[in-house]
Amino acid sequence: MDIGVLLPTGTTLWGAGEGPRELLALGRRAERSGFSSLFVNDSLTGPRVEALTALAALAPVTDNVTLGTAALLPFLRRPVQAAQSLASLDLLSGGRLVVTVGAGFPGRFGRPLYALSQVPWERRFARLDETVALWRALWDGAPSFHGEFFHADELPSTTRPFRTAHPPVWLGGATPAALERAGRLYDGWLPYPPDPADYASGLAAVHGAAAGAGRDRGGITPALFVSVRIDDDAAGGRRVLDDYARAAYGLPLTELEKIQAVVTGTAAHVLDRLLEYAAAGARHLVVRLAAPDLRSQSEQLDRLAALIPAGGAPTATGAAPASGRQ
């Protein structure tokens, strides 16, 4: 199993006197602590370091960790330019990029961002799939592309990724339609269901869709996005998580945990909960450290690292299987 962390690129989650240098230092610390990936999220909501810019800064200061998005919103960017940026990141990082994509969802993270980007909200999922198909065509050096939204009789000769097979593209989302699309079209699946049982049933649906499309399910990475806070004081941990949820989403914790995987409590409780998701089939955890500033994020990083020897699967015995970074 691979365990990674989501770095807080939103500047509202930086403490007084903290800045980009401390953010990059947190990424380097995570790699030294044995975590196998670093992810960033993407939005126009709130002041933040742009996702691909953050990964470009992390590439030269890290050596082996996967660098990923969780999730990139392609509708915010022109598709050909985005393909070049992603290929450049893969090239500069030596083939360490993973691109999770999403189409946004209703509320302040959906329609308003589409309006700012001058992209129609309607048919957003079909547009997302076609954007990824266009990226792959550009990375493969295809001469032309003809789809519902994008037409080009002559595609430009653009930057090629480091890997001939190009960066893996994962899909975020857990609706029935998203499960089918993940199995049919994508290289990985990164949802955040609150219940491990829902993860297991969703993964079975992804595998079923892959089989129906004649794909090997082994080529689809089953990942999980989960917010974690380790705290010996369970009530205190929930208070911190509530503050975090309100700062990040404008939602109280009681509402956020209805729609997202959120785990808080003692180290033993957090470990047990993560093991439930592992038993449900998750093989790459992307952990958001629920803490209000970079200093306390670093403290949470250390506490989580103690549960995950050498960046492998969390185990009650402290023994970890070999990591297989995707």
On the question of pLDDT at 77 being above 60, the answer is yes
pLDDT digit string, tens, across residues 94-125? 999 999 999 997 777 788 999 999 999 999 99
CATH number among 3.40.50.1820, 3.90.1150.10, 3.20.20.30, 3.40.50.300, domain 2-311: 3.20.20.30
pLDDT digit string, tens, across residues 198-244? 999 999 999 999 999 999 999 999 999 999 999 999 999 999 999 98
- CA separation for the pair 228, 273 (Å, rounded): 10
Residue owning tokens 């547009």: 127
Which pLDDT score, from 0 to 100, does residue 313 have? 60
Q: To which H or E segment does residue 239 belong?
A: helix 234-249
Which pLDDT score, from 0 to 100, does residue 321 have? 35
Sign, CA dihedral 96-31-174-201, equals: positive
* DSSP strands (E only) in the chain: 2-6, 37-40, 66-72, 97-101, 145-146, 151-152, 169-171, 188-189, 221-230, 262-265, 284-289
Is the Cβ–Cβ distance between 240 and 299 less than 8 Å?
Answer: no
Q: For residue 69, what are its two tokens?
A: 């998005």
What is the rounded average pLDDT for all residues in the chain? Answer: 93
At residue 309 the predicted structure's pLDDT band, cuts being 50, 70 and 90, is: low
Full DSSP string of 165-200: T---EEE---SHHHHHHHHHH-SEE----SSHHHHH
pLDDT digit string, tens, across residues 144-192? 999 999 999 999 999 999 999 999 999 999 999 999 999 999 999 999 9
Which pLDDT score, from 0 to 100, does residue 137 have? 98
- CA separation for the pair 97, 310 (Å, rounded): 21
